[in-house]
Each structure stands twice: as structure tokens, then as C-alpha cells.
Amino acid sequence: MPLPFVCHSEVDVLIIGAGPAGLMCANALANARVNVRIVDQKAVKLTTGEGDGITPRTTEVLQSYGLAERLLRESCQLHLASFYNPSATGGIELTDRIASVTAPSARYPFEAALHQGAIQDIFIDSMTPLGVEVQRSTIPTSIELSKDENELVDPTSYPVRVVLQRLDKSEDEPQEEIVHAKFVVGCDGAHSWVRKQVDITMDGEQSDSIWGVVDMVTPDTDFPDVRNKALIHSNHGSVIFVPREQDRIRIYIQLKDKDVINPMTGRVDKEKMGPEQILETAQKSIVPYKLTRKSEFIWWTIYSVGQRVASKYSINNRVFIAGDACHTHSPKAGQGMNASINDSHNLAWKIALVIRGWADMPLLSTYESERRQYALDLIAFDKMWSTLCCDKPLTEQNGDGVSPDHFLKTFQTDFTSGIGVHYQPSVVVNDRNQELASGLVLGKRVPPYKFMRAADAWPFELQDLLPSDFLFKLLVFTEKSFLNRYAMHGTSRFDIITISKGRKQTFNIFLLPALLRSHWSKVFIDDTDPTGRFGGEGYSYYGVGAEGAVVAVRPDGYVGAIAPLDHVEDLDAYFASFMKIPA
């Protein structure tokens, strides 16, 4: 009997799992023109359920890839959050309403709610014209990493061997393929096969609280905040309302262990409670208001989430994990899908630069140092927030309960918006010269501000000048000539954006050195727009003085380094720590 034919292939990056992390990574690498493949066990794409909340920072990230417009068009925007607590009569009453997002520098001062399948479609539709599609009904069956040190440190080698099996092929068709990859990214969820195969452990503990979730068309109700994000503490448990796209709504309901735990297994048993019973629990918790379903449930689930972080995020900077594969937590803070998308946003540019031969392999180590620390911070916040959501509220009978003020102040942290992410010093985050641009914090994302393009007085949002195109951006804040000797060994890896304090009435773009005006569209002035309604205070907003500064912005939009105009050697040292000089 002849041996079955086994196909061998090579690829720069193999992504296993087509959830938010996997699709974000695949789309980003496709845009970088990296040879990437993505496979998934599921035969069809997601259409309902799962995650649904996008934070202001994630919207900024999607904007940098040109994807935010569709998200904002299809999603429901959450501008207001309402808080309810027990009333003197035993029901609930409105305590306060505040902005859903309170971070002062948020470009998009709201959350966006759209079901995960639609968000994943945004990535799929973006990468398909670039020749990348999800290979479905495909599972990995083995993964081997070379033990040859020379091979592991050579970015041009293919040291990872993965055997893929097609589940949709007949017995007389080839079902197996051996893929030789430079890098593998495991985005295969909380029960990650990749993570288990490379012996990465998950550290943490299981959450005690159990919640039910139902997605439905907005019900018949007299609850006044049904179309706002509503956080409800009642004597019967907690409830969270999240309005959604197309007149839909998601309701999170705190459940009692005895109602959903199988006493024999100690695990959640969905046979004990269905969506109708979950909704009845919510109705008891929002008295005196009524809630009546008027159509079928779209999706529902019951969950108890572990709050865990992977012990490491990579093996030899060749096999990585991202998203739920490396951190799990409750969905109540709305961070799950956002953390996954931003993991891949952090990793993709680093892989792309190494594959292009622009950066050294050690750059990849900063993925773990930056994103694992973020995950640890997220778990710490999630434990605190989940406890506040689940604990009994403060009442006359319960003097140790959660006070409305404490709950409100915790909700208002920058952490939930994603804007508070702060990467610590590393080879890609320098810690010098912060005083030259105090509003551009090293390790944090560039906050939004509008400058006027010098050539045609067209106002531009600075973040829109920082697309995720895998180039470093050099923001040159200067009133004077800038030294032409600064060429950074070829500027093709850099996009130089000049921001002058010149006035629109007198500014002449051609008085700038050629290096600082590589194209007329790259020169801006810190002046008001022609109507005088906005602008003109950018230097002050970013804390840049009359002496000016050069700010290196990483490809993911985070500030990497700052240098004085007369000491650009500081930037030479910064880039030399991880980038290669062209031959």
C-alpha cells in the first residue's frame, strides 16, 4: 500500500486560532506584506455571542489600520453609564449617571459595542484583498522547535515544524501538511493547544462568582437606562446592561451557586438553568422596573472565569501565545477582546521588523515584558472590580457592603479605557529627556491633538499621521533649522513629521532643510485653523518648550524616545539598541 502524500510548505508566520487576537495579528502582518497563514478548527466563522465591547484605545488602534470607520458605523456607542443601588423600599433606585469614559485624553470618549463576529469580519474583510484568508476545519497535531542554537537565532531560518490536519477532507484526499515556520503565534483561546504543547503554565486562581449572559432584542421595559450602560447593585445580586447594535442588548446577571453548580462535579451545569431562568433572575434584581422579552434569545451562556496569566509568552522568541491563550479574566471590565487585539498590535510590528531584517531578534523579547506586565495589572484590576460587582451593596442592614462612591471611583479609572497602558523602560522605551516633552509620556500612546498642515491649512489629527505602517515616526518639534547631518542611515524606515511653531500668515515651508520636508504633506504648524476655532496650543499640550525636541514614536503609536534637537545622538543610541544598520 503506497504511503499517503504529505505536503511540505514554508511560511514566515503561522497563526493558530482565528479569534480577535489571531485575526488582528494576521491582518497586521498581511498589511506588512509578511508571508502569513492563519488556521482555525471551526468550520464556519462566528456569527453571534462572545465578546462585544471595544474601548477608546482599541478604537484608536483600529483607526491606525483604517478600520475604525466601519466599527463606528456598525456599533452602538456607549456615552453614558448609570448606577443603581438598593432603595429604602427594597427595590433599586438611580444613584448617578456619568460619562461612560472619563479619560480626559480619549479621542473617542465612548465605548463601542458590537458582537465579536462582526468585529472579526472587519479583520477578515481587510486581509482578504491582501491574499490572506482563514483556513478553516484545520487543527495542529504536533509542534516541534529546533534545538539548534544557530538556527534559533537566525531570523531567516524556519525552526518551527507544525503538522496540520484538515478535518474537511475525505479519506482519499491528503489530510496532513507539514508547515515549516519562522514564527508561530498561538491565538487558540483559554484552553490553548499551543500553550500546552510548549509547557507554558497558567498562574492564578478560579473566580468564585458565576454569571449568566443573554443577548436579545431590547425588551419591553420601563427601566429608563436600558439603552445606557447600567451597573446595578441589588439585594438579589448584580446586573449589568450593555446596549448593542441593531436594537439589541446584552444583560449580565449574577447567579447563585446552588442554581447552576452540579453538586457531583462541582462545575457549572448549563442543564440546570437556561436563558429564560437567567432573565427571570434579572427581573427580580431590577424591581420595581419590568422587563419582558419580545423575541427569541440571540445567544446566552453561563460562565465562571479563571483569573490567570501565562508564566511566559514565548519560547525562544519563536513560538508566541496571545489573547486568551495567555490571560483569562472576567468580562465585566470589558477588557478581554481589547487585551487580545492589543497583544497582537504589540507583537506584529516587532515580528515584521525582524522578518524584514530591520531589527535584531532580541526585540521580540519586549513583547512578553510589555504585554505580560499589562496582563498582571489587568488581573489585579479585574479581581478588585469583580469583587465590587459581586459583593453585597452597602445598606442599613449591610454596613460592610460596597459603597456607591467606591464603586463609582473604581469605574472611572483610566485602565478601563485602555488609555492608561504604560510600558516600562526597555530597548524600545528609553527613559531619558522626558522633560523635553512632558505631555508625550515615554512608554504611553501619543495622545490626540490637531495641527494644521502648512501647505494648505488643512487640520489633521496627529494620531492620523501615525498609521500602523510598521515605520517609526520622528516628530520634529522645531522653530529653527534642524541639522541635515541626521539621516539615521537611510530614512526609509522612518517617517519624519515636522511640527513648527510658525504662524500661518508668514510660514514658508521651503525655508526648512530638505530632510524636514520630504513631502509637502509632512510639515505642520502649531497654529489655529483658519476659522480660529481650535488648534494653536499643541506645543503647550505636549509640554514642548521653545528649545524643541525630536520624539520617536514606535510603529504601534507609543512614545519610544525623546531627544533634544542638538543631541540627536540620543536617538542614534536608542535605535542602535535593537535595529540593524543596512549593509
Which sequence positions are flagged as catalytic? Answer: 52, 244, 252, 331
The tally of CA atoms less than 13 A away on the side-chain side of residue 96 is 12
> Is 115 in contact with 48 (CB distance < 8 Å)?
yes
Angle between helix axes 20-31 and 116-127 (nearest 10 degrees) is 20
- Kindly provide the b/e burial profile for residues 373-392, where b requires at least 16 CB atoms within 10 angstroms of the residue's own CB: ebbeebbebbbebbebbbbb
Angle between helix axes 336-355 and 20-31 (nearest 10 degrees) is 30
The side-by-side arrangement of strands in the sheet containing 472-477 is 459-461, 450-453, 523-525, 494-500, 472-477, 549-553, 559-563
- Kindly provide the b/e burial profile for residues 172-187, where b requires at least 16 CB atoms within 10 angstroms of the residue's own CB: eeebebebbbbbbbbb
Strand pairing category for 229-234 and 237-243: antiparallel
SS3 assignment for 86-147? ECCCCCEEEEEEEECCCCCCCCCCCEEECCHHHHHHHHHHHHHHHCCCEECCEEEEEEEECC
The residue among 138, 157, 172 whose CA lies nearest residue 42 is 138
Identify the helix (H) or strand (E) that includes residue 504.
none
First to last CA, the chain: 53
* β-bridge mates for residue 82, sequence order: 97, 230
Give the burial class of 435: count Cβ atoms within 10 A of its Cβ; 0-12 exposed, 13-18 middle, 19 or more buried.
exposed
> Is 342 in contact with 335 (CB distance < 8 Å)?
no
Evaluated on CA atoms 47, 51, 57, 61, the torsion sign reads: negative
What span, in angstroms and rounded, lies between the C-alpha atoms of 200 and 325? 10
Please tell me whether the peptide bond between 263 and the residue prior to it is cis, using omega within 30 degrees of 0: no
